[in-house]
Structure 1
């Protein structure tokens, strides 16, 4: 195999040693950037054989200016920074890495759930302020026999449900793309969208961001939820219409929300969400552990190696036949 080039548009890792360990032995050299604009991406990637990208915009214009690209790999699960249709039209497979941080994201989801339901941050702050109450921050609901509902029933949602059952929660899920047999096998009740909203005491979101899911949590859907219900989101911020959530929390339409992802990141310092005790926000960090970081880098590089070794990548998301 002759000299090949992989362009890394942007990355937040300490180094690219895992990728280099996978790809240099089969003839790849690396060109790297920290691209913010589509133009920067186009210049860096024009003659690349493969692209690794984290957050940089891979727009239709960028894709149509590529001369040699055979694959685009997104570091992570979501691919909303890549124009999938333009890549499909150019027969370039877009590949994600959905299996690198299942444990971390599901652990973080349960951590947010427990924190918001048990009101842990509020109690900690009270103790720091010298208030010692053995039944603080009333009301706090018990979890046993409550209903956790997941929007989506993929790997992470199933891992969340597995953990939640240990707390005595009953599980329901909405996912029209998953066969009934899998729900039955895992002992989870399959429900429609309105039933998910109306039945869930804790609604955990595990959806990709698409035109169909953007703002799927809006004023109308929030009104269908129990006033005692909580929302947890570790998937994509754009699934929730922010203004509708602010109004719902302010007016007691739901009891609370715990969010690792926002429509706009980082969150504005003057956001009302930051001043609400019934809202917890973490910094899009659910995916992170030192272990998952290395897996993400290695798994992304392995998808490129598969393609250039005559195999089919494992996780093509735009219906292109490759290999």
Structure 2
């Protein structure tokens, strides 16, 4: 018996392969986000595959009474109402690893752009500025200490890249890999020790209640002065107003951010301000993000670290496997909370 399977947030290039992978299912393919899909179409879905750009809230789930399975095309799943899914008995699968090198490479690209003022140099030339290295002096990575927060798949690739740059590596993770650390030559320390001794801090931790504002007003006051911060994980790992303050007073020399807290509101600040019932905290966060974007010592990219063709193809391969496993009655890569 055919199932109604919905793939949302598509780009278009995936459609031919999807049809080949699931010839016997009733397919609903859309380039739109879930919020843009009609309630009538949502009500038919038994299986749903989404990207992080679609928020599967408790309210959205109510519009999908037939839904039995969600496969998110991402490693993170904070865009899904997992508690509501569990209540409904909806199984949720994710992609545990697809872009370990992809994201880690991007993080170091951002770091080099920050420490060597690459963006500023290129922008100056493109905007017909002087062909001169004046005011473009940067700092080497070799010999510096990097603090890596989170040593999962991406964090471990970052460790190896940092060692390749001849950096000293400190790591923080609730589940340290002590044997690997001894073998490769890096060291696990407490978060406070990492922050106090690192010239660079890069975040590769998942976002959860436990990691919300992992970097915050309290510990950013204790961080090594002149540190560079890179975040390609989740915006909510850093308390935004505390970061703005640390950047303004020179505690943090610069930040390279591929993710922002409340990034869904970026570009919609005017609409947010016009809402009579707008959440004051959301308004405050949107304005703080705008401040970050305009600061000269901050680089912001649009949640792009995952975005290589190879990574996207790996995401789809794992997703096809997740769907086939569910349809066969043997779900794979079920999110840890379930």
Deviations 1:138-196 (A, max 9, x none): 4x332222111111111111111111111101112111034534444443311111112
Unaligned runs of 5+ in 2: 270-286
Q: How does 1:113-262 map to 2 (within 5 A)?
A: 113-126=111-124, 128-133=128-133, 136-138=135-137, 140-262=138-260
Per the alignment, residue 18 of structure 1 pairs with 17
Per the alignment, residue 317 of structure 1 pairs with 335
Find the aligned partners of 2:157 and 2:38 in 1 and give their Cα distance. 35
Deviation at 1:279, TM superposition (A): 0.8
Larger RCO (alpha carbons 8 Å, 6+ apart) = 1
Deviation at 1:209, TM superposition (A): 2.0
**TM-score of the pair, normalised by structure 2:** 0.83
Count residues with an aligned counterpart.
313
**TM-score of the pair, normalised by structure 1:** 0.87
Counterpart pick for 2:41 among 41, 44, 52 = 44
Deviations 1:183-233 (A, max 9, x none): 444433111111121122111111222222222222222212112210001
Find the aligned partners of 2:326 and 2:199 in 1 and give their Cα distance. 44
Asked if 1:289 corresponds to 2:308, the answer is: yes
Find the aligned partners of 1:184 and 1:89 in 2 and give their Cα distance. 43
Deviation at 1:244, TM superposition (A): 1.9
Per the alignment, residue 273 of structure 2 pairs with none
Unaligned runs of 5+ in 1: none
Deviation at 1:23, TM superposition (A): 2.3
Q: How does 1:259-278 map to 2 (within 5 A)?
A: 259-263=257-261, 264-265=263-264, 267-268=266-267, 271-278=290-297
3-state DSSP of counterpart to 2:251? coil
3-state DSSP of counterpart to 1:51? strand
Deviation at 1:243, TM superposition (A): 2.2
Deviations 1:76-132 (A, max 9, x none): 111111111121223322111132222211110110111111121223345551152
Find the aligned partners of 1:210 and 1:28 in 2 and give their Cα distance. 35
